[in-house]
Amino acid sequence: MSPTDLLQILLFLALILAIAPFLGAYMARVFEGRVGFLAPAERAIYAACGTDASEEQSWSRYLGAVLLFNLAGFALLFGILLTQHWLPWNPAGMAPLDWDLAFNTAVSFVTNTNWQAYGGESTLSYFSQMVGLTVQNFVSAATGIAVAVAITRGIARRQARTLGNFTVDLTRGVLYILLPLSILVALALVWQGVPQNLAAYVDATTVEGAQQMLAQGPAASQIAIKQLGTNGGGFFSVNSAHPYENPTPISNLIQMVAILAIPAGLALTYGHMVGDKRQGWAIFAAMGVLFLAGFAVTYWAEMQGNPLLASLPVDQAAGNMEGKETRFGVVNSVLWAVSTTAASNGSVNAMHDSFTPLGGLVLLLNIQLGEIIYGGVGAGLYGMLLFVVLAVFIAGLMVGRTPEYLGKKIESREVKLAVLGMLSMPVGILGFGALAAVLPVALASVQDAGPHGLSEILYAYSSATGNNGSAFAGFGADTPYHNVMLGLAMILGRYAFIAAMLAVAGSLAAKKITPPSAGSFPTHGPLFVGLLIGTILIVGGLTFFPVLALGPIAEHLAMLAGTKF
Amino acid sequence: MSNLIRPALVLTVAMTLLTGLVYPLAMTGLTQMVFPAQAAGSLVAQDGKVIGSSLIAQGFKEPGYFHPRPSLAGEGYDGALSGASNLGVTSKALIEAVGARVDAAGVVGTVPVDLVTASGSGLDPHVSPMAALVQVPRIAQARNLPEETVRALVQSHTEERILGFIGEPRVNVLMLNLALDDRKP
């Protein structure tokens, strides 16, 4: 590794390590109601909603509030996408979306997936981007944070019936966390060159006399929240690879930090809220180890270049550059790719479809492990807590004790619910993926021949079920079949985890807390971190290794043997 | 259930107003005051006419200009239709395309990889300094300039890593070509 590559990685890690504790502590104060600089706006919203901010909800009512709010958001966005030709701010004259694409896109943004079966600059009006998508960028992220906070309360409280108030948690998440940070990030992005206007597309006459249409739009305001909310849906088709969406190495660094800042911070918010910061750091550490391991493999693979080009007079010292931008090179493309798949963000600054087989394998696996390596805002934390439940259960089995977590007994109800939630991943990825691999109507979307074609299918259904949103973009996803099936996979992946974990939290909240004794298994030390990582890798590995062997691993071996498809 | 419906609907409306209208419109107004050139898309004008954006690649073909990286944005360098090949490393189509680009580049010795692979956006405004330098003999010949002069121009247009380590060294092809025209139209 060159010294400059190493320094870039260290700078990125240092920034995350510096920001996460500060942000984590701040977010804990926000959700404990100890931040109030926008109290008048808060009060106005609660009054309009008819909500008493001090009135709390049981886990099932909290879940009901989440589902109804998301349903309302879906209906509004679906409506906007179907009628954008009648709405204002449409200088490029975009037509309405077909119903299947509108369904897929609305589900995608409401579930914080932000999978894009469309190209932004060739499909959507400025109104759809702002009033439709930007709004869901904020509230789907705030929904994830709210659910994570409610689940944290369930673990922290003793003999309680309630987990908090969804209206209050959502409002605070937007007002005190997402909106202020978005304003800062959007300003920094425009400074670096990201457009922010409502002007018509610019018709330029190039130096050689050709016509070049330059897409414009209110890009920076959407890109800021796209990263901070681990949404990932690009303003432009190629997302943050587009020089308007991510013009410089500085804008790239800002966006990468924005991807991981809140998910990493939330792991520490958790420690604050359960009253033991070490618990937060243990989760943070497990996430960090998996992140670094994934980065190391992908970086090594991409720096090897493409061995099938070795017979040509091409200097591949820069690594595998197909689908990558000059200003980022391999190191920033890989750092981004690992962050965006680990964090369920899904924005890209290089084309994952053109990564080497092993590089692509890590990205796939990051998603398939359940989006818990920092993970989506909120979703990463509650997904990780699901694995914590499984890990303490397995530890309990090994030593023959009743499993306990933070003084609460983990019993069969909690374990059953956790497993039920986790099963959404294999159903969505392997079940839906297998269907797509045999139905001719589905297979027509595959671009590449050979094992890489299977990887394309696998990536699409992993990305949808894991609510990631990145793609092996050669896969032609905009067909009625895939729009509907991928939409269903997104719904399954999002709400199975939310429902299962809120139910676990409801049942944990009602339990007594037994004080730790000499026989308690500590859940903050390296032993537990190791056990948690082991659980994640064994569950993920057992579930997905067979299909990964047929896709990326087979392609890697074919590549080494010099086979082309 | 019924008393969950009102907050769901009111919150949707309130958040739409706040994050879908107030926030993006305020940012549009603010950035047009603070960073007007960037907010408008970093457009480059010559004699009052927009000739492109310093951030978006143009499809230079003439031998007297530096050429950008290959593009799969629309029909090539389409600023309203960004796109990539998305071909995997074992794709025959990819290997053949790279081979054809190597032949077309007409470079003596090895070709830097960025010059024969398509970028992620199809609009990558930069090439690596090496990819610009290997084009110097062609441009010097077409413009009847000493190679030294052209090479010096490339060097003065090379953007180094920020603080010596952030990002990759690169040359903006449009700005370099404009400088070339300024020197000898």
Distance from CA of A409 to the nearest CA of B (A): 31
Cβ(B173)–Cβ(B127) below 8 Å:
yes
**H or E element at residue A540:** helix A526-548
Cα–Cα distances (Å) from A109 to A84, A386, A475, in that order, read 17, 24, 20
Is B158 touching A (CB cutoff 8 A)? Answer: no
Selected for mutation to probe chain B from A129, A208, A214 (highest B CB count within 10 Å) is: A214
- Partner-chain contact A71 B109, CB within 8 Å: no
Q: Which residues of chain A have pLDDT under 50?
A: none
A360 interaction partners in chain B (CB closer than 8 Å): 88
Map tokens 């922290």 to a residue: A156
Res A493: pLDDT = 96
B98 interaction partners in chain A (CB closer than 8 Å): 309, 312, 314, 322
Is A457 touching B (CB cutoff 8 A)? Answer: no
Map tokens 């392997």 to a residue: A430
Cα–Cα–Cα angle for B121, B127, B129, nearest 5°?
A: 160
Scanning B69-88 for CB atoms below 8 A from A yields 69, 77-88
Tell me the per-residue pLDDT of A493-532, one tens digit each, with 9 for 90 and over: 999 999 999 999 999 999 999 888 887 888 999 999 999 9
Distance CA A461, CA A467 (A): 10
Locate the chain B residue with the closest alpha carbon to A134: B20
Percent of chain A with pLDDT over 90: 96
Res B2: pLDDT = 62
Cβ(A222)–Cβ(A127) below 8 Å:
no
Question: Kind of pairing, strands B170-172 and A314-315?
Answer: unpaired
Is B5 touching A (CB cutoff 8 A)? Answer: yes
B64 interaction partners in chain A (CB closer than 8 Å): none
Locate the chain A residue with the closest alpha carbon to B30: A187
Res B184: pLDDT = 60
Beta bridge partners of B50: B45
Is A560 touching B (CB cutoff 8 A)? Answer: no
Distance from CA of B176 to the nearest CA of A (A): 12
- Partner-chain contact B84 A354, CB within 8 Å: yes
A201 interaction partners in chain B (CB closer than 8 Å): 79-80
Q: Which of B174, B60, B175, B176 is nearest to A209 (CA)?
A: B60
Beta bridge partners of A315: B112
Tell me the per-residue pLDDT of A12-32, one tens digit each, with 9 for 90 and over: 999 999 999 999 999 999 999
Is A71 touching B (CB cutoff 8 A)? Answer: yes
Res B3: pLDDT = 85
Is A478 touching B (CB cutoff 8 A)? Answer: no
Question: Kind of pairing, strands A404-405 and B126-127?
Answer: unpaired
Q: Which of A90, A45, A89 is nearest to A69 (CA)?
A: A45
Tell me the per-residue pLDDT of A406-424, one tens digit each, with 9 for 90 and over: 999 999 999 999 999 999 9
Distance CA A111, CA A124 (A): 19
Q: Which of B39, B42, B177 faces A207 most closely, judged by CB atoms?
A: B177
Question: Kind of pairing, strands B111-112 and B158-159?
Answer: unpaired
Beta bridge partners of A204: A212
Res B183: pLDDT = 83
Distance CA A344, CA A145 (A): 14
Q: Which of B3, B14, B121 faces A45 most closely, judged by CB atoms?
A: B14
Res B46: pLDDT = 93
Distance from CA of A540 to the nearest CA of B (A): 25
The pair of structure tokens assigned to A293 is: 């391991």
Distance CA A157, CA B104 (A): 69
Buried b (16+ CB within 10 A) or exposed e, A124-147: bbbbbbbbbbbbbbbbbbbbbbbb
If DSSP codes are grouped into helix, strand and coil, which group holds residue A231? Answer: coil
Cα–Cα–Cα angle for A379, A385, A388, nearest 5°?
A: 150
Q: Which residues of chain B have pLDDT under 70?
A: 1-2, 184-185
- The pTM of the full predicted model, rounded to 2 decimals, is 0.96
Return the number of other C-beta atoms located less than 10 Å from residue B17's C-beta.
13
Is B68 touching A (CB cutoff 8 A)? Answer: no
Q: Which of B10, B19, B78 faces A49 most closely, judged by CB atoms?
A: B10
Buried b (16+ CB within 10 A) or exposed e, A437-474: beeeebeebbbbebbbbbbbbbbbbbbbbbbbbbbbbb
Res A138: pLDDT = 98
Question: Kind of pairing, strands A202-205 and A408-409?
Answer: unpaired
Is A359 touching B (CB cutoff 8 A)? Answer: no
Scanning B160-179 for CB atoms below 8 A from A yields 161-162, 164-168, 170, 174, 177-178
Distance CA A502, CA A58 (A): 9
Res B185: pLDDT = 54
Is B42 touching A (CB cutoff 8 A)? Answer: yes
Distance CA A141, CA A111 (A): 9
Displacement of CA B92 from its chain's centroid (Å): 27
DSSP A164: B
